Amino acid sequence: MKTESSALPTEIVIQATHGWRFLDLRELWAYRDLLRLLVQRDFVARYKQTVLGPLWHLFQPLVTTVVFTVVFSHVAALPTDGLPPTLFYLCGLLAWNYFSQTFNSTSTTLVANAGLFGKVYFPRLIVPLAGVVSNGISFLIQLTSFFAVLIIYLASHPGVDVGPRWEAIVLLPLVLVQLAAFSLGVGLWLAALTTKFRDFTVLAGFLIQLWMYLTPIILPLAKVPPQWHIYVALNPVTMPVECFRYLLLGTGWINPTLLVVSITSTVLALVTGILIFRRVEKTFVDVV
């Protein structure tokens, strides 16, 4: 038999916070159902009323790979580190697409959802986290298409020694987590800046295009002159792309120093991005 006190609803008190605060993991866990609904919304709404639907996840990287193969391999004759050009570009785009899509969805979080944030309370970080997860689903679809292309290529070229390494089962998810963490961190920084300076909305599109050419998507890292390696180290996306090629195709240039720099930059970007986002989320509705 229930007592009168046990029948009372749970009381939730929402209080203003002061100063710099980091993650409240218990609060995020309490809203896990909302995270699931937002992931479903993002994934379904992205291709709503389209003919191909989720097949766009396969169509976009494959068409881009064909263009890159024709332009950069056959016309410009750029090296691909001994790898078949189609597999070289497709593998690089596999990592890059996840980073760029997560960065784009995160960077517009506050401005795009200002109306929702102004009506009801929930942890604001749930929205960018939903983008990380929904883009992860897109990544898995594209990864399936990559393995399909790889199998077809190996069947038609039996003498080619290309394929995944056994450690990819363990290490590939870790590399994906690093990409997710870095794209989330820099996206949160840009989302916070966009609330006061709308110029960053335009800058985001330009930045992601320029960033791709500073990442070894078109040219392998092994072909970059040693004197430029210090500048390559400033791009934390470089090592994850090379790790993808090393784990999925068996060839890649992994530099331990650059890898440590990349991981350190990722942690710094994620921590500072969450801190600045938590700081801005308290008052952004007043200025958006």
d(CA 22, CA 64): 39
Quick one: pLDDT band at residue 2, thresholds 50, 70, 90?
Answer: very low
Average pLDDT over residues 226-248: 86
The DSSP secondary structure of 64-113, one letter per residue, reads HHHHHIIIIIIIS----TTS-HHHHHHHHHHHHHHHHHHHHHHHTHHHHT
Quick check: 100 pLDDT over 90?
Answer: yes
DSSP reduced 3-state for 206: helix
Burial of 165 (0-12, 13-18, 19+ CB in 10 A): middle
d(CA 44, CA 36): 12
91 neighbors 61 (Cβ within 8 angstroms): no
217 neighbors 93 (Cβ within 8 angstroms): yes
Quick check: 3 pLDDT over 50?
Answer: no
3-state helix, strand, coil in the chain (%, to 5): 70, 0, 30
Quick check: 271 pLDDT over 90?
Answer: yes
Q: Give CA separation, 215 vs 95, 124, 233, 239, in Å.
A: 11, 31, 10, 9
Helix (H) and strand (E) counts in the chain: 12, 0
206 neighbors 274 (Cβ within 8 angstroms): no
Q: Give CA separation, 79 vs 47, 83, 154, 249, in Å.
A: 36, 9, 20, 16
Residue 272's Cα: distance from chain center in Å? 17
* Cβ atoms < 10 Å from Cβ of 211: 17
Per-residue pLDDT tens for 7-50? Answer: 444 555 555 555 445 677 888 888 889 889 988 887 777 766 56
Least confident of 133-142, 163-172, 226-235, 253-262: 226-235
Quick one: pLDDT at residue 4? 45
Quick check: 96 pLDDT over 60?
Answer: yes
Average pLDDT over residues 176-203: 87
First to last CA, the chain: 51
Q: What percent of the chain has pLDDT over 90?
A: 32
Instruction: Report the amino acid identity of residue 116.
Output: L
DSSP reduced 3-state for 190: helix
Q: Give CA separation, 145 vs 65, 97, 139, 259, 286, in Å.
A: 12, 14, 10, 28, 45
The token pair at 38 is: 């937002």
Quick check: 285 pLDDT over 70?
Answer: no
Per-residue pLDDT tens for 102-137? Answer: 999 888 887 777 777 777 777 888 989 999 999 998
Quick one: pLDDT at residue 159? 78
Average pLDDT over residues 63-75: 91
Quick one: pLDDT band at residue 90, thresholds 50, 70, 90?
Answer: very high
Phi-psi region of 80 (alpha: psi -120 to 50; beta: other; left: phi over 0): alpha
